[in-house]
Structure 1
Amino acid sequence: MFGITHFEFFVVAVFLLNVTPGPDTAYIVGRSVAQGRRAGLMSALGISAGCCVHSLACAFGLTALLAASATAFTVIKFVGAIYLIYLGVRLIFAKPAADEARGQARGAGAPKSLRQLFLQGFWTNVLNPKVVLFFVSFFP
């Protein structure tokens, strides 16, 4: 079957990765609730672009480097955690939006531009240890 061994296991793992909520899902839901459908869509596009980075890294053999070096993988995990903490702290200390009466979430701060939403989604995915672990596990 196309030279793929344990294809069923791979399909189950892909399914579980996609249905298990993580930082990417939380980011999309949070942005969609705070800023609406366009913000959620732009965040999802940024996350999809992050998946392209993982695919390219895999194609160029960088996942093999991460699989071989526990230190490199640990660095990715810590950088990702620091980035998510940074986003959370910014959200907590943001001033309430003036448009709170229109239904925006309290503490969401000023609405982000589409470019900012895309970039935050992108970096949230690129630094997501769950996605990195998936690519390292299946595509070294």
Structure 2
Amino acid sequence: MIPGSTAASFLLVVVLGAISPGPDFVVVTRSSLTGGRRAGIAAGAGIALGVFIWVAAIALGVAAVLTASAIAFTVVKLAGAAYLVFLGIKAWLAVRRGGYRDLGAGEHKPPLAAGAAFRQGLFTNLLNPKVAVYYLALLPQFLPADGAALQTLELTAIATAGTVLWFGTLALVVGALRRFFGDGRVRRGLDAVLGSVLVALGLKVAAETA
């Protein structure tokens, strides 16, 4: 079993890492604004599943192979960059189409569904090989030298729980403020800004060398 102090320290590091602004943060924020708290929480759950898969892959040695192979790393990185740009362009297209109305006046288009938000969160995380690099560097610092599979599984559960904790909180906060952003012009401006941020992050990811 992982000692309680070690588990608490690992959870704190995971949450602090999740808080750092990045693609996951933007996806949950936009999901919460366009689909409400339910969509935001679903996006956060998708990201948490992505973290679980990455950490499990590290335990199986798959992630180490990915980060050791420049070609594999680049393929996943470019796929992730393309997906972020795709999400950003979707936001831009929504701005161009218009159709924004005040929330109190009824929606002109259906809100983002929880299933779609979940998939966006999952793919955004899984197509980011930086997550593998992060946990490859982090896990050994919290595992004993003779760390067993059970202890790795415990850390995997903690990493997943910490991710759910932060992004669930973010979704609730942004979802609660959704009515504050209920003015159609405000939401159109937010879509333009968040779409631009997603495209910029995608281009940044594509340009990074490691």
Which bracket does the TM-score occupy, shorter chain normalised?
A: 0.7 to 0.9
**TM-score normalised by length of structure 2:** 0.53
In the aligned structure 1, how far is the partner of 2:22 from the partner of 2:47?
A: 12
Deviation at 1:92, TM superposition (A): 0.7
CA contact (8 A) 2:31 2:112 kept: no
Q: How does 1:63-82 map to 2 (within 5 A)?
A: 63-82=63-82
Deviation at 1:112, TM superposition (A): 2.2
CA contact (8 A) 1:97 1:110 kept: no
RMSD: 2.9
Task: Give the direction of change, closer, same or farther, for the CA distance of 1:41–1:69 in structure 2 (3 Å limit).
Answer: same
**TM-score normalised by length of structure 1:** 0.76
Per the alignment, residue 122 of structure 1 pairs with 122
Deviation at 1:77, TM superposition (A): 1.1
Aligned residues: 131
In the aligned structure 2, how far is the partner of 1:112 from the partner of 1:36?
A: 8
Task: Give the direction of change, closer, same or farther, for the CA distance of 1:70–1:138 in structure 2 (3 Å limit).
Answer: farther
- Secondary structure (helix, strand or coil) at the match of 1:47 reads helix
In the aligned structure 2, how far is the partner of 1:44 from the partner of 1:96?
A: 27
In the aligned structure 2, how far is the partner of 1:30 from the partner of 1:61?
A: 34
Aligned sequence identity (%):
39
Q: Which has the higher contact order (CA 8 A, sep 6+)?
A: 2
Per the alignment, residue 101 of structure 1 pairs with 102
Superposed CA deviations along residues 12-66 of structure 1, whole A, max 9, x for unmatched, are: 8645422211100111111112221111111111111111111221122111102
Larger deviation, residues 16-25 vs 130-139: 130-139
In the aligned structure 2, how far is the partner of 1:58 from the partner of 1:48?
A: 15
Residue type of the partner of 2:128?
Answer: N
Residue type of the partner of 2:61?
Answer: G
**Higher Cα Rg: structure 1 or 2?**
2
Deviation at 1:75, TM superposition (A): 1.4
Higher share in helix = 2
